[in-house]
Amino acid sequence: MNLSKRSFLALACSGALALSLIAGCVPASPAAKAQDEAQAANRAYMSSVNETMSDLDKGLEEFVTAVSRNDVVTMQTQAERAYKAIDKLKETDAPEALADIKNDYVEGATKLQEALNDYIALYTEMQAAQSTGSFDFSTFGTRVAGVQQKYDEGVAALKKADEAAAALQ
């Protein structure tokens, strides 16, 4: 009798194992499959955003280096590199669940682009005026404050997008 109990237990365990293996092979429900696809789309979009933001960051780092060297040509080149990253960000399709996050990223990047444009314009005017002495320094502080404000707004929008994306996980 002791042997038959063991045989019964072994058979029951084998049956439970077989049922669990079969259950693992059953296709997921349509709702679960849709949720998995949505999560995959969200991850793919965020991966694309991370790559684009990395490209933007590299362009901005090189822009700062060009500013420190007083190299207007490189400033413009690196600003163009940043603009390409911003355009890529704008063109990347976001899943519906991430539409607001995309809007914040685009808003932040656009503000950064405006700040770069304004900075380059100001710097170019100053450099051109060195030979003629015609730069209006009475507006310098206001213009620099405007550049800083756009930059700060851009960073705030990017931070908001990052925080919203982190909250989804």
* 154 closest CA partner among 99, 96, 98, 82: 82
The reported pLDDT for the residue numbered 87 is 92
Total structural domains within the chain:
1
Top-ranked range on mean pLDDT: pick from 15-19, 33-37, 88-92: 88-92
pLDDT tier at 25 (50, 70, 90 boundaries)?
low
Tell me the residue range of the domain where 50 lies: 33-167
Note the pLDDT of residue 128.
80
CATH code for the domain in which residue 126 is found: 1.20.120
Q: Using one digit for the tens of pLDDT, what is the confidence trace for 71-124?
A: 888 889 988 988 998 999 999 999 998 999 999 999 999 999 999 999 999 888
Tokens matching residue 97: 């669940």
128 located within any domain: yes
DSSP-derived letter for residue 28 is P
d(CA 163, CA 53): 15
Give 37-77 pLDDT, tens digit per residue: 888 888 898 899 999 888 888 888 888 898 889 888 888 99
Contact criterion met (CB below 8 Å) for 146 and 118: yes
Q: Is there a domain that residue 134 lies in?
A: yes
Q: Is residue 61 part of a domain?
A: yes
Distance CA(128)–CA(123), nearest Å, equals 9
Q: What is the mean pLDDT of residues 15-36?
A: 62
> Domain for residue 23, yes or no?
no
In a domain, 7, yes or no: no
Q: Is the residue at 21 inside a domain?
A: no
Greatest CA separation found in the chain? 110
- The pLDDT assigned to 129 comes to 81
* pLDDT value of position 10: 54
Q: Rg for the chain (alpha carbons), in Å? A: 28
Q: Does some domain include residue 125?
A: yes
Domain for residue 131, yes or no?
Answer: yes
